[in-house]
Amino acid sequence: MKYTGVELLEKLSMLFGPSGCEGEVAEFIVDQIQGDCDSIETDRVGNIIARISGRGIEYNPESPKKVMVCAHMDEVGVMVSDITEEGYLRFSTVGGISPTVLLDKKVILLCENGKKINGVISSKAIHMQTVEERGKVIPTSKMYIDIGASSEAEARQYVEIGTVGVFDSDFVLFGEADNLIKGKALDDRLGCAIMIDIMRELYTNGKGLEYDVYFAFTCCEEIGISGATVAANKIRPDVAIVLESTAVADIAGVPAASKVAILGEGGAISLMDRSTIYDRNTVEIALAAAENYGIKAQIKKYISGGNDSANIQRSGKGVKVLSLSAPSRYIHSASNVIHREDVDAMRSLTYTLIANGKI
């Protein structure tokens, strides 16, 4: 069965896919895009690369243009690093997770036999903490995962060193007209959902494209060892659009100047982050298209973070890259929050740039 819109995003959000363990997500995506592109391949590192052919060489025999659209499949998570004699699991984070969002959260762990088990993240009981400890953030090294085992031997029947897990979180619509979405892994399953929807529309309506378009669903972005490097070196695009999420800080008590972007005001276009300075002409093209077609878009106002753009930009002979991100509250937690209108705006702008030859 093929899914669309919010239902598609929910299905993607609920899948298990921490960095290096994206197989479940990849299988679902391949099933969803079958018949909506001219080719699909999975490379050695686990990226999915789908192609929709345009006029290609017939359009420009000397140098057929290639456009790449990219979103990563992986999510942040945890990895078991030790098992105590009492049966508790010490762990490290997979990707950037603040210790402040970990305590008391439910997690799902993937066992070696493919079975999934539940756990709860906890730490020393508060009545056992010193006054000094109570006033500090508990580091991840002082936390553990409780899977209900009573001994190390019992725990090892289910998990081992290297077992990975993700947040166990519901997918919830809330707010006015249910316009807000709360869930895990919206960074960057929302980008994957947008790409799937665009592929379907392009494949139906876009056979006159002036260039080939490659859709790369990449792996391992959250740990910085990005599969996008491999994908971009294979595709060798001229220009790429990276669909992402970005932290926003649009909450109470934050000065206006510190708010990265605003939920409901469209995708955030980056000028610069910690790893990339974006091609200004490409940014201007995107902003002009948004204005001309009445699509919401905004500039990301704070220099922070990074994404697959850096790896793509530096591949081959160099690539012009546009980063378009959904403003996201509480990113890299069990309760990432995004606005449905931002997802729709990102989809519309990306499709317009590709289908109308604006990029």
pLDDT of 8-23, one tens digit each? 999 999 999 999 999 9
Tell the residue number behind the tokens 């580091």, with chain if given: 139
Number of H helices, E strands in the chain: 10, 17
pLDDT bucket at 259, cuts 50 / 70 / 90: confident
Q: Which residues are catalytic?
A: 221
Residue 110: predicted pLDDT: 97
Residues 6 or more apart in contact with residue 242 via CB below 8 angstroms: 70, 71, 191, 307, 308, 309, 312, 321, 322, 323, 324
**Res. 136 pLDDT band, cuts 50 70 90:** confident
The gap between the terminal CA atoms of the chain, to the nearest Å, is 32
Query: CB neighbours of 285 closer than 8 A, spacing ≥ 6?
Result: 353, 358, 359
Please give the helix or strand (H or E) that residue 188 lies within, else none. Answer: helix 186-205
The Cα 318–Cα 316 span in angstroms is 5
Neighbour-count burial for 190-201, b at 16+ CB within 10 Å, e otherwise: bbbbbbbbbbbe
pTM: 0.94
Collect all residues with Cβ–Cβ distance below 8 Å to 35 and sequence separation of at least 6.
none
Residue 126: predicted pLDDT:
75
Average pLDDT rounded to a whole number, residues 19-47? 96
pLDDT at 258 (0 to 100)? 66
Give, for 208, the enclosing helix (H) or strand (E). none
